[in-house]
Amino acid sequence: MRTGIRQLAALMLPATLLLSSMASAATVTGTHASATARFLAKATGKSVASVESLHRADHSWAKVAATLGIGAPQWKLDRKLLRLGRFEAEGHRQAQVQALAHASGKTVAQLGALRKTDRTWKAVAQALHVNLATLAPDVRAAARRIAVARAAGALLVGELAHATGKSRKEIQAMRKADHSLKSVAISLGLGTMVPTYALLARQRAELAFARVAALVGVLAKDSGKPAKEIRSLILAHGLSAAESSLGLNAFKVHAQVAARTALSLRARVADRAVVGLLSKLSGKRPSVIQGMLKSDKTWVGVAKALGY
């Protein structure tokens, strides 16, 4: 059992990165609330102030979206894209600061102090005689890893909530007290399940970003606009805004892309990896594990049925 858990853990991102990822994006407050208001304003052609006034009237963001004419399925998908966009933006900022610290020999704290004076990271880099353009390839690679880790962390919160019958808010409150999702899982009696949940969360996060890339490719081809512009649009403002800006049925394209990527090599390889690991852990044949998946429908359900 312990050997199997170590094998599962070896496939994860470093635990300190994954298990310390940001809190679930289900609760939107502060800066995130402003981002949601801007998101809805862009998608509906309303002013940010009018959207915020609707929210202040004690409505949930879902009700505000419905009031503005965005249906529940579209709102759910747009929120997912908004979260992915936030993870990506935060990952880029973190990766850029880390790369700048490495290149300049400064600590992150020292760079933060300089930024308070110079205001922008570009100005800080210039003051330190560092060319940010030369750091771009490393920043992009690190930003992707961080974004996937943050998305996986949010998904892991959901897995723990689902497994225990608690709400995401309750898991987040426990996380604030226990400082890590691993500690929360242990306190809930799910310590041995963390590697399995974390592996599945990471795979789901990677697939989500893969779907975004595929969606961007199709929309860029159909609209004739640059892929970078399309990616910025859908991750900052969602598909509702993309439809009005591009004149395309973006939600239909997304459904097609989702169906295709669900059967992609990436997804199938990930499934085979989990089948192999659970087969080795339990001593059951891979065909038996696959049969259990058809019944339980999720890898979490299969893993729980096997006692992991």
Q: What is the pLDDT of residue 138?
A: 87
Q: What is the pLDDT of residue 100?
A: 92
Task: List the chain residues with pLDDT less than 70.
Answer: 1-33, 58, 118, 178-179, 256, 258-273, 295-299, 308
8 Å CB contact between 233 and 241: yes
- Show the tokens assigned to 134: 């030369």
Residue 20: CB atoms within 10 Å:
16
Q: State residue 68 phi and psi, 5-degree precision.
A: -85, 5
CA distance 114 to 116: 5
8 Å CB contact between 154 and 25: yes
Q: What is the pLDDT of residue 4?
A: 39
Q: What is the pLDDT of residue 161?
A: 86
Q: What is the pLDDT of residue 260?
A: 62
Produce one character per residue of 36-46: b if its CB has 16 or more CB atoms within 10 Å, e if not.
bbbbbbbbbee
Each residue's pLDDT tens digit, 103-145: 999 998 889 888 887 678 888 888 899 998 888 888 888 998 9
pTM: 0.67
Place of tokens 């395309």: 248
- Show the tokens assigned to 284: 């059951």
Reported for 77-81, long-range contacts at CB under 8 A and 24+ positions apart, including other chains, are: 77/238, 77/239, 77/251, 77/254, 78/39, 78/43, 78/238, 78/239, 78/240, 79/238, 80/208, 81/212, 81/234, 81/235, 81/238, 81/239
